[in-house]
Amino acid sequence: MNEAIKQENRAIINEMSADGIDLTQEYTVEHHFSGHDFKLLEKLAVAVYELGFEVTDAEEFRDERNRTVFCFDAYRDMIISAEELEKDQDRFLPLLTKFHAFYDGWGVPMEDEEEFFEDDEESGGAGETAE
């Protein structure tokens, strides 16, 4: 396991704790993957699914060099700990090499954020108030 990834995991967990997130509760953790070859990324998604993760459909976008990039998320519910994240990431590493893909980190979608953005859309957008 890459030391930088370990440090990043711990920093994110510390930030979550400082923000008042109860880390004894179970959350959906999303891991983000990307690659330039759709067929290889699709094979990676199948392999990650076989590890017990749910996976999203791949999306396509252009990077800053105008190259096509494909990405997908893999997620599972878990109690967040650095040790559990590192176990998952250790299982991903050989797959990334095999399928020439990239690991783009992890995150936790927060319900409050979704409600904020939904409320924001209903009111007409960020920084605008309904009159």
Residue 85 near residue 29, CB atoms below 8 Å = yes
Superfamily for the 3-123 domain: RraB-like (3.30.70.970)
Q: Is the pLDDT of residue 64 over 70?
A: yes
Query: How far, in Å, CA of 98 to CA of 87, rounded?
Result: 18
* Residue with the larger pLDDT of the pair 127 and 52: 52
Give the number of other CB atoms < 10 A from CB of residue 107.
Answer: 14
Query: How confident is the model at residue 3, as a pLDDT?
Result: 87
CA distances (Å), 39 to each of 59, 69, 71, 94, in order? 13, 12, 12, 17
Mean pLDDT value across residues 68-82: 96
Residue 74 near residue 54, CB atoms below 8 Å = yes
pTM for the whole structure: 0.80
Q: Is 50 helix (H, G, I), strand (E, B) or coil?
A: helix
